[in-house]
Amino acid sequence: MQILDWITCRRVERKESASFLCLILLYMFTHAVALAEQPGVQAASTPFESSALGTPAHDITMAGTVQEVITTRTPGAPIGIQLVVEGTQGAFTASLGSTLSDQVRQALSAGAPVQVSGVMETTNGKSYLLARKLTIAGNQVIIRNEHGFLVHSQQRSRASVNNSALSRGAK
């Protein structure tokens, strides 16, 4: 079998290399198939891999009082602001993401009453409420859209303008 040598731009005989490459590829393919067929063997899931994030019908709503606002990065935790809240169902940690406006960040303080809607996920043995909506001081803030993606503050303002225009038209 002749293979193009990219360094010298000519064809050379490389029977051993081609055979070895084929054997390696065959081994990798058969090993992957054998693992997939074994019962009880599951692929490792990625942190915060959630099919429920894209479906608001699975959201839960929890209310309480802010105990702590965590803004520093914690290894193993979702990126962004973490809100430790004490509610009637006990304490929970809400992950608010990293796209909150400065106005919302300033409103988040210990003792503030909040209501958080989203999906509960567990990673590294700790449960987080991945927030879709946050209500603070009577204002509702959309954090994730209906597909589970973080909404940036510019998109929030456009959405609120569109919603207010729709509600005026409905009256």
DSSP states along the chain: -EEEETTTTEEEE-HHHHHHHHHHHHHHHHHHHHHHHSTT--PPPPTT--SGGG-GGG-EEEEEEEEEEE-S--TTSPSSEEEEEEETTEEEEEEEES---HHHHHH--TT-EEEEEEEEEEETTEEEEEEEEEEETTEEEE-B-TTSPBPPHHHHHHHHHHHHHHHHHH-
Same domain, 89 and 140: yes
Same domain, 108 and 68: yes
The pTM assigned to this predicted structure is 0.59
CATH code (residue 120) = 2.40.50.140
Per-residue pLDDT of the chain (171 residues; tens, 9 = 90+): 555 555 555 555 555 566 666 667 777 777 666 655 555 444 443 344 445 555 677 889 999 999 999 999 888 888 899 999 999 989 999 999 998 988 899 999 999 999 999 999 988 889 999 999 999 988 999 999 888 888 886 555 555 444 444 445 544
Q: Which domain holds residue 141?
A: 52-170
